Amino acid sequence: MPMTVIVTRDVPQRTRGFLASVMPEPAPGVYTSGEVSKGVRERIWTVMQDWYGATHEGSIVMIWRDDKAPGGLGVATLGAPPRQLTDLDGVLVSVW
């Protein structure tokens, strides 16, 4: 099971409370776990999408290992600015 990291900015306390209930929060707004399965990660993201869609407050970025994505990292974002990873001649860069 690959490591998953979620970074939040200016999200409602409800969102932070939910994430803290399923993942440790080693720094304010940063949640991480080395043992989140793909199914659990997808369920967490579904909750984040539903809640974000109702409020459009803040931003959320989730990063996980994905061997099929550029640089081996999957990225999902809610809020502005949306980001994606691109391999630029062997260097992984973030674009939006």
More confident residue, 89 or 59: 59
Structure tokens, 87: 């391999």
pLDDT of the residue at 55: 85
- Residue ranges of domains in the chain: 4-95
**Considering the entire predicted model, what is its pTM?**
0.84
More confident residue, 63 or 1: 63
pLDDT tens digits along 39-63? 999 999 999 999 998 888 899 999 9
Tokens 């969102």 belong to residue: 15
pLDDT tens digits along 19-35? 999 999 999 999 999 98
Backbone angles phi, psi at 14, to 5 degrees: -55, -45
Is 4-95 a domain of CATH 3.30.70.240? Answer: yes
